[in-house]
Amino acid sequence: MTHFCRAIGLACLVLSLSACSFTTNIKFGSSKSSPAGEITLNAVEKQIDRIRGKWNGHDAEGLGEEYTADGLSILGSQDLALVGREAIVENFGAVFGEGSPFKGATANITTEYVKDLGNGYAVSDGTFEVFGADGASMMVGKWGDVMKATADGPRMLQEAVFATLTEADNITPPAGDDAHAGLKSVTNDPAMMEIVKSFEDSWADGNSEALANLFTDDAVRLVDSAPDALRGRDAIRESFAAGFADDSPFKGSRLTGIVLGMRDLDDDYLIAHGIWRGVDATGAPLGRGQWANLYRREGDKIRIVMENAGAMVFPGE
């Protein structure tokens, strides 16, 4: 699979749930009562039907309407987030344009979880598989969305998608890579600064217990190095422990996280996105990529409700 394939395909085929076929295994819950702004399972399914029709019609502008005007699209194949409907529509246009490797492609999308957060917001996640015109599988992965209720139904406020890494994928940046040079965190929120530092420090220590404690009890971790969603703190703890095992390339590694965007949804929830860069035990570049998370405030601290993260894939040697 080429880097170009990832850059084009993830941008629109899977992230906006615009598949030609759709399956569901939805778990639905509500965090608190807010009937006026509740995002229901039925509303989500209606949006899926609407997106499918626009996808089949190659309607980039119409698909853009499925996002809020200030919506974000975080793609594992891109250096930075697509910010705002205009950028998202432009990206859809590239997918539908001449020369796209996904001409005639189809996709199966599975929605695994939908939860109303209250006050007009919801979180959802699932999986995807994209097939080429010849029926061959081109990529599989996971997606996670934070959605906002509007008078016209739910719209995507922050979406993220990452294809599952394969053994053939090269995540080591090329020599002299400076794609994120000069970028600094844009927030001075004490709780956000604290959790980013705690994540970095706990990772450097290889402390899976401390990392898991940065997540809520019912959190989900959606990362491209794992084929399935990691649900609940115990599964998340085990995933970190495996990442620090002796045979893992991440053993002894260090990560740096940068916050490039953050906004409060209400008094309880907030979203943020940014970039990460990692070095291995010798200090050599290991990888870089994007992340997009949903958080819940707990007093003067915050915990991760949903983590989406993945590495850029670079052309092989």
Per residue in 118-134, pLDDT tens? 999 999 998 888 787 78
Segment holding 129, helix H or strand E: strand 121-131
Mean pLDDT, rounded, for 262-278: 97
Rounded distance between C-alpha atoms, residue 315 and residue 39, angstroms: 41
CATH topology agreement for domains 3-163 and 190-311: yes
At residue 14, the pLDDT reads 36
Domain ranges of the chain: 3-163, 190-311
Query: Regarding predicted confidence, which is higher, 3 or 165?
Result: 165
On the question of pLDDT at 20 being above 70, the answer is no
Position 30 confidence tier, pLDDT thresholds 50, 70, 90: very low
Fold observed for domain 3-163: Nuclear Transport Factor 2; Chain: A, (3.10.450)
Tens digit of each residue's pLDDT (9 = 90 or more) over 167-178: 999 999 998 898
pLDDT at 79 over 80: yes
Strand-strand pairing, 106-118 and 121-131: antiparallel
Domain 190-311, what fold?
Nuclear Transport Factor 2; Chain: A, (3.10.450)
- Cα separation, 139 vs 6, whole angstroms: 8
Query: Quick check: 247 and 259 in contact, CB under 8 A?
Result: no
Q: Count CB neighbours of 34 within 10 A.
A: 17
pLDDT band for 32, please (50, 70, 90 cuts). Answer: very low
- The amino acid sitting at 131 is F
- Residue 52, pLDDT above cutoff 90: no
> Is the pLDDT score of 265 beyond 90?
yes
Residue 294: name the closest of 154, 176, 148, 170 by CA.
148
> What is the predicted pLDDT for the residue at 36?
53
Q: How far apart are CA 280 and CA 64, in angstroms?
A: 39
> Which of helix, strand or coil describes residue 230?
strand
| pLDDT for position 150 | 93
In the chain, % of residues over pLDDT 70 = 87
What's the distance, CA 166 to chain centroid?
A: 18
Q: Place 18 in a pLDDT band, splitting at 50, 70 and 90.
A: very low
